[in-house]
Structure 1
């Protein structure tokens, strides 16, 4: 029983990280109605910015306090992601207002390659380290309940708490604020939103900035765990099944989808892996997403689209 609970906790922690990356896809889709293929590149760019600024700022300012240096680096990385959002809107999205969704989709592919190249040009292509002080030593809990207790990763626990706090904040933002309602209106119909005075260009800058900040948090967490390297952009591939499972238009769906896939991967690897030769953790999420596409294409919490002719 103790081993099963350890596996479940591990899956939930990883699932929250998947959900955090998937959240970026959902935010962009809710505001523009297009799937953002650049989200993985944004995670990488943000992680590179955080890693490099945390190295450069102490040198530039002569700081010895690591906490202050990390705070300043986070601010600089956030400013970088806002600048990326402004450039994306100015150079690409502004030209594609009221164009077919496929045009926006292809634009995000081009933006992805642009951000990848800009990341290498500005910050380098080596493997970098992010250290924001999250404890890496495991901890043992519930020793009196289970023999030997449960072994949990403190880093995963902190990462899951940060992810949950960010998700709760964004959910409130979308539901309770005027800008959040404007974002949802733009997602429903660009032309109708413009006709009632919602500035589309400003809304897109806001949502891409929020998507950049989400990518930054995800990049910091993944960079802290794995190091900042260009394979980190592939983490976004695991977010594809998450948004398919939860629904492209649902913030809670991204969370539930991430948790289900995280737990499903861990359980299937432990209990089904020995029967299929292992490696099931690499493809389990995609098989599950395919099953959902066949049974419920809009996902668990997505809006069902009905076209009347």
Structure 2
């Protein structure tokens, strides 16, 4: 039972990180009606910026404080993501207002490849580390219930708590604030939103900035765990099945979907993987998402679209 709980907790904590990345997909889809394939590249770009700024700033300004280096690097990386959001809106999205969804989808694919290449140009293509002081030692809980207790990674636990808090804050922002309601209006109908005075260009900059902030937090957490390398964008794409499972328009769906996939892939790898030769954790999420597309394409919490003629 103790081993099962270790696997379960590990899956829940990984699921929260998937939910954090998936939230970026959901936010942009709700505001623009386009599936943002660039979200994984944004996670990588933000992590690269954080890692390299934290390395460069102490050399440039002559201080040795890790805390100060990380704080300045975070501010600079977030500022860079806001500038990036403004540039994407100004140079790309503003030219594609009211275009077909496939046009916007292809635009995000182009943005993803651009960010991958531009990130290498700016920051290099080596493997970099992010040290934000997250604990690396394991912790043992429930020692009174199970012999030896249940081992939990402190780093995963801290990361999951940070991800959960950010998901809650962003969900409240989207549901309760005036800007959040404006984002939903823009998603429903661009022209109608513009006709009642909602500035489309401003809304898109805001939502891409918020998605960039989520990408930065996710990039810091994953970069601290795995190192900042160009496979990080592939890890971030694990959020694709999450949004398919939870629903493209649902913030709670992104959370529940992330937890289901995080737990499902860990348990299946441990208990089913040996019977199938291993490697199930790699494809479990995508097979589960395919199953949902066949029986419930709108996801668990997505809105079912009915065309009436």
TM-score normalised per structure 1: 0.99
User: Corresponding residue for 2:290?
Assistant: 290
1:158 lines up with 2:158 in the alignment: yes
Alpha-carbon distance, 1:102 to partner: 1.1
Alpha-carbon distance, 1:114 to partner: 1.1
Residues paired across the two proteins, number? 309
1:259 lines up with 2:253 in the alignment: no
User: Corresponding residue for 1:205?
Assistant: 205
In structure 1, distance between residues paired with 2:98 and 2:164: 35
In structure 2, distance between residues paired with 1:149 and 1:112: 44
User: Corresponding residue for 2:12?
Assistant: 12
1:69 lines up with 2:69 in the alignment: yes
Q: Deviations over 1:78-128 (max 9, x none)?
A: 001001101100110010011111111110011111111111111111110
In structure 1, distance between residues paired with 2:301 and 2:122: 39
1:31 lines up with 2:20 in the alignment: no
Q: Deviations over 1:44-79 (max 9, x none)?
A: 000000000001111111122111111111000000
Q: RMSD of the TM alignment (CA)?
A: 0.7
Alpha-carbon distance, 1:164 to partner: 0.5
Alpha-carbon distance, 1:266 to partner: 0.8
Alpha-carbon distance, 1:237 to partner: 2.2
In structure 2, distance between residues paired with 1:83 and 1:241: 29
In structure 2, distance between residues paired with 1:166 and 1:202: 23
- 1:230 is paired with a residue whose SS is coil
User: Corresponding residue for 2:274?
Assistant: 274
Q: Would you identify which runs of 4 or more consecutive aligned residues in structure 1 move more than 4 Å?
A: none
User: Corresponding residue for 1:245?
Assistant: 245
In structure 2, distance between residues paired with 1:111 and 1:274: 39
User: Corresponding residue for 2:40?
Assistant: 40
In structure 2, distance between residues paired with 1:7 and 1:260: 13
- 2:237 is paired with a residue whose SS is helix
Q: Which runs of 5+ in 2 are unaligned?
A: none
In structure 2, distance between residues paired with 1:274 and 1:223: 29
Alpha-carbon distance, 1:236 to partner: 2.4
User: Corresponding residue for 1:52?
Assistant: 52
Greater shift, 70-79 or 114-123, is seen at: 114-123
User: Corresponding residue for 1:187?
Assistant: 187
Q: Which runs of 5+ in 1 are unaligned?
A: none
Alpha-carbon distance, 1:273 to partner: 1.0
User: Corresponding residue for 1:84?
Assistant: 84
1:173 lines up with 2:173 in the alignment: yes
